[in-house]
Amino acid sequence: MNTKNIVLFIIYFTHCGFSFAQKKEINFTEERHKFNQKLIFNQCYNMVKKQITKNDEFKGSFLGRVKTKTGKTYFIVKSSYIFNLNKSATAESQIFVYNYKNEFVGYYYLSNINQLPWKLFHNKLYFNNKDCREKIIVDFTTGIPNAINLKCNGVDDLIELK
């Protein structure tokens, strides 16, 4: 190949969106669900951390199983996506709900990592936010609530299932 053909070859591939060193895009939502489902499968009750990139990680734990009065079974996972680890770390925290087939049902998006629940016991989710006077308990016996109230110091904080 002569120099002209090499230059044309390089121009063609760079303008068509090809790269010889393409970086694989990470689907964080899909990776998060895989992480959560692994927590359920392995029944990881202790906090588990998974490094995704040098700047991103997941943290989470399987809280347990909920069985409603109608006989439906759900799995509850608390999980955080932490990003900007090398600068100013930021967390997105949620309570995830999966059905007995390990299929995603929904999540409660929490504005603060301190809002994550402490434990699940007898179909009740217990929260222990040290900044709040109230002891918050959410009962799942009658089903998965459309919203939960994480009231803190007299101020309601309704969080919808999404």
- For the stretch 47-87, pLDDT in tens is 999 998 999 999 999 999 999 999 999 999 999 998 888 88
Question: pTM of the prediction?
Answer: 0.81
Read off the pLDDT band of 3 (50, 70, 90).
low
CA diameter of the chain: 77
Task: Average the pLDDT over 150-156 and give the result.
Answer: 92
Nearest CA to 48 out of 111, 57, 76, 134 is that of 57
Which pLDDT score, from 0 to 100, does residue 20 have?
A: 44
- The neighbouring-strand residues paired with 79 are 60, 94
Mean predicted lDDT score pLDDT of the chain:
86
Task: Average the pLDDT over 123-144 and give the result.
Answer: 92
Read off the pLDDT band of 5 (50, 70, 90).
low
* Residue 7 clears pLDDT 50, i.e. is over it: no
> Tokens 């402490």 label which residue?
118
Which pLDDT score, from 0 to 100, does residue 89 have?
A: 86
Which pLDDT score, from 0 to 100, does residue 14 have?
A: 40
Handedness of CA 58, 61, 63, 66 (dihedral sign): positive
Which pLDDT score, from 0 to 100, does residue 38 have?
A: 94
Which pLDDT score, from 0 to 100, does residue 62 have?
A: 96
Beta strands 90-99 and 48-51 are: unpaired
